[in-house]
Amino acid sequence: MMIIAQITDLHVVAKDRLCYRRVPTNAQLAQAVTHINALDPRPDAVIASGDLTDHGREAEYEMLREILAKLIPPVFVIPGNHDQREVLRQAFASAGYMPAPDAPFMNYAIEQFPIRLIGLDTTVSGHHHGMMCEDRLRWLDRTLGARPDAATLIFMHHPPFRTGIQWMDASGLHGGRKMQEIVARHRQIVRVACGHIHRPIHLVWGGTIASVAPSTCHQVALDLSAGDGFGFIMEPRAIQLHVWDPGYGLVSHLSYVRGDYESVSMLSGATDEVRSEVITQNRRDYAELCRTEYDAKVSDGR
């Protein structure tokens, strides 16, 4: 098993500042870090899918590094449209996985886990839209072709598809259709995990599942009309937990970051004896399902 926590759209600002003069993005990221560290079992790796800072300034990356330094699992970062590729690269130069300083894009593959992680840099300097240009498409095709049997999660900032939130789709990805053809040719991709939209979204795309994770700070209001939108909303902040189950594939959960969510045990009214009986029976039922169903070899019917 491997657990990958996806955090996205952190929008970290300089110390003691607020994002949009009202959202405490730094404190909210710190809460997400505490949340991840406290998970049991703890994730094996964290991927941060862009918009790590709000303006791409050095002071913001300093703050980002300070907050992420508290994360116990290793973290892998890629840029979003609010980042500055070069400033980000310098801030994380010592991380060991960054491409060489003369590489035009921050694309890389992480090979040390049961799931291969491919980080894609979709940013276009000075613009909010994203781009999979011919260079980046070729790099992706070649990198996927190098390990066709390794279950692979691709993470990128801009979703390579239209989401229906039109004002956000306007700053979407150019080259997504070409990327879709490449993804469809490589059958080992178990997820294309994105950010940018600040909402949980998923669809079948290129023969795999593509998804967007919600933000660790503010969310984008759900507005599927042709209206002017541009609204953000303080809906619950969350991270995505991608759990690798070799028997089934990548199972993804939404995990809400700290809030006043009431948590009640369904056994709270039971006596100790009944509780212990129910738990024992439940474990027996789970073991039985593992034996006959979950871990059973699938017959091909012949």
* Residues contributing to the site for Fe ion (CB under 5 A): 9, 51, 80-81, 196
- Smallest separation, CB 199 to Fe ion (Å): 11
Residue 29: half-sphere exposure toward Cβ, Cα within 13 Å = 30
CB-nearer residue toward Fe ion: 81 or 219? 81
Output the furthest CA–CA distance in the chain (Å, rounded): 66
Residues 117 and 109: beta-carbon distance below 8 Å: yes
Q: How far is the CB of 157 from Fe ion (least distance, A)?
A: 6
8/50 Cα distance (integer angstroms): 6
Rounded CA-CA distance 28/22 in Å is 12
> Rounded to the nearest whole angstrom, what is the least distance from the CB of residue 23 to Fe ion in the complex?
11
What is the spatial distance between Cα 298 and Cα 239, in angstroms, rounded to a whole number?
33
For Fe ion, the closer CB: 202 or 275:
202
Minimum distance between the CB of residue 6 and Fe ion, rounded to whole angstroms? 14
When the beta carbons of 115 and 238 are compared against Fe ion, the nearer one is 238
d(CA 239, CA 256): 6
CA distances, 105 to each of 16, 133, 247 (Å): 31, 11, 35
Within its chain, how far is the Cα of 33 from the centroid? 14
Comparison of 9 and 60: residue with beta carbon closer to Fe ion: 9
Which residue type sits at 39? L
Q: Give 215 or 252: the residue with its C-beta nearer to Fe ion.
A: 215
In the complex, least distance from residue 173 CB atom to Fe ion, rounded to whole angstroms: 11
Smallest gap from Cβ 240 to Fe ion, in A, equals 15
| Torsion 38-44-50-53 (CA) sign | positive
| Torsion, Cα of 254, 216, 109, 192 (10° steps) | 50
Query: Using CA atoms, how far apart are residues 205 and 189, in angstroms rounded to an integer?
Result: 11
Shortest distance (Å) from residue 135 CB to Fe ion? 21
In 3D space, the residue among 7, 126, 121 whose CA is nearest the CA of residue 56 turns out to be: 126
Nearer of residues 55 and 185 to Fe ion, judged by Cβ: 55
Nearer to Fe ion, 131 or 270 (CB): 131
